[in-house]
Amino acid sequence: MQRKVKGSALVALGASVALVLAGCSGATSAPATSSGPVTMTFWHNSTTGDGKKYWDDTVAAFEKANPNVTINIQAVQNEDMDGKLQTALNSGDGPTIFMARGGGKLADVVAADQVMDITSQVSSDVKSAYGDAIFSAFTIGGKIYGMPTSVLPGGIYYSKDLFKQAGITAAPTTFDELNAAITKLKAAGITPIALGGKDAWPAAHWYYFFALRDCSKDVMNTAAAKKDFSDPCWTKAGEDLKAFASTTPFNTGFLTTSAQQGAGSSAGMLANHKAAMELMGAWDPGVIASLTPDTKALPDLGWFAFPAVTGGSGEPSAMMGGSDGFACLKTAPAACVQFLNFIASKANQEGYAKAFQTLPANRDAQSGVTDPALKDVLATYNKASYVMLWLDTMYGQNVGNALNGGVVNMLAGKGGPADIVSAVKTAAAKG
């Protein structure tokens, strides 16, 4: 009897070793033809709820349509994604399909020759339904390296109930109006703005948006290309933010508040009516919904664009945002791009937008958006004079991190606008 058990244990061990080996080799040595069995690994950042389920279901549907393909899904927490992905790519064992947000971060991976050029493999259906503009963040040196799944323009999400409670009748369109709203909210005992400073980027977004309003389109593009922040508008953006922060609009302890994890996070504060506003990208309705007491969408969630800044040279209608998307490993099999085209189809994009409560990249699927806040975002987005990429994404991990750190320092009272720019220079010396 015992012998038998041992024997079967050995078989199980052998099988699992074989599975592990298959998992390891799948990414690198799978045949490029679609005939043989293909195993791919897939990393996304939806660890909970509808988003996780959406990927599980979509992958299952793709596997059903392509019986020779097996996709192993790994959900990685968003704040861990950059580091884990980099480590995996460094070790030559990167996932076949991985999350990418374009810009400088993707350019680093392209420079390392780790990602597949999919320019000619994006299906014509997808190309016409997406339009060219959306691919720009994923285009490096004229070649497309990733498939966007969403458009995520930023702006201020707010609770209509709390605004009403404080006696605010209209969404602010200028900073004077925003400051007046903040005063009213404080008088009503409501925390005006929730800020997830612990993750650094939410704090930095405030600086980016001031820069969007203060700097012209040309200046911002020059900064992206040359990492040159000498134009005075960069300092003005810092000064504007400093002046705004000095009115203490943010929640107490914002420095150690995370953005998306738990009820104490900035999104959680909005979800539980503990704060009235939050500056975020279009993923926010979904994140907030996952943190409400009944994990349903927040019914009174509203949205308005980042208010106009007096004396700025940026277009008041300009927006900033990003795209979530996915890329294929350089050595990926043909099924990888098939999968990207699959998730870009209208039906899957509609499912995506519903599951994540966000805006799909596929324009045909955008008509399915019903959330009132997101409808406002979409309307403003379609009228935007131009859309800039998140600055930290655009400048890549190294400079982006330094920029974020400089802004957090300033908001916490350490250093000023000039230190943000000098932090960027120091970063350039390190990488």
Partner 1 sequence: MSESAEALATRSSGSQAARDGAHRAPSRADRPGRARADLRQRLEIVLLSGPAIIVFLTFVIFPVFMAAYYGFFKWKGFGVPTNFVGLQNYITIFTDQNFLDALKHNAFIVVVSLVMQGPAAIAFALLLNQNIRGRSLIRVLIFVPYVISEVIVGTGWGLMLQYQGAVNDLLTKIGLGAFKVDWIADPNIAIWTLMVIISWKYIGFAVILMLAGIQSIPDELYEAAAIDGASYWQIQRWITLPLLGPTIRVWAFLSVIGSMQLFDLVYIIWGQYVSSTAGTSTMATYMVREGRLTGNYGYGNAVAVVIFVISLVIALTYQRFVLRRDTEGALTGEPGRKQK
Q: Which residues bind partner 1 (CB under 8 A)?
A: 79, 82-83, 86-87, 89-90, 108, 111-114, 197-200, 251-258, 264, 274, 396-398, 401-402, 404-405, 408-409, 412-414, 426-427, 429-431
> Closest approach of Cβ 416 to partner 1, in Å?
14
Distance of CA 7 to the CA centre of its chain: 49
> Closest approach of Cβ 413 to partner 1, in Å?
7
Residue 45 has which token pair?
A: 């950042």
> Closest approach of Cβ 73 to partner 1, in Å?
24
- Residue 13 φ/ψ, nearest 5 degrees: -60, -45
> Closest approach of Cβ 275 to partner 1, in Å?
11
Nearer to partner 1, 130 or 254 (CB): 254
- Residue 195 φ/ψ, nearest 5 degrees: -140, 120
Nearer to partner 1, 131 or 253 (CB): 253
Residue 368 has which token pair?
A: 């399915």
User: Cβ atoms within 10 A of the Cβ of 311, count?
Assistant: 9
Nearer to partner 1, 370 or 422 (CB): 422
> Closest approach of Cβ 90 to partner 1, in Å?
4
> Closest approach of Cβ 25 to partner 1, in Å?
20
Read off the amino acid at residue 174: T
Distance of CA 192 to the CA centre of its chain: 24
| 220/152 Cα distance (integer angstroms) | 19
Contact 38, 69 (CB under 8 A): yes
> Closest approach of Cβ 16 to partner 1, in Å?
24
Residue 430 has which token pair?
A: 């390190």
Nearer to partner 1, 264 or 316 (CB): 264
Nearer to partner 1, 33 or 77 (CB): 77
Residue 81 has which token pair?
A: 């994604």
| 392/380 Cα distance (integer angstroms) | 23
Nearer to partner 1, 82 or 300 (CB): 82
Burial pattern 282-306, b for ≥16 Cβ within 10 A else e, equals bbbbbbbbbbbeeeebbeebbbbbb
Nearer to partner 1, 31 or 431 (CB): 431
> Closest approach of Cβ 194 to partner 1, in Å?
11
Q: Which residues pair with 326 in a beta bridge?
A: 99, 147
| 377/236 Cα distance (integer angstroms) | 27
Task: Say if residue 384 is exposed, middle or buried (CB neighbours under 10 Å; 0-12, 13-18, 19+).
Answer: middle
How far CA 302 is from CA of 228, 320, 342, 378, 428, in Å, comes to 36, 18, 32, 13, 39
Distance of CA 83 to the CA centre of its chain: 15
> Closest approach of Cβ 37 to partner 1, in Å?
30
Nearer to partner 1, 127 or 330 (CB): 330
| 185/249 Cα distance (integer angstroms) | 10
Nearer to partner 1, 178 or 402 (CB): 402
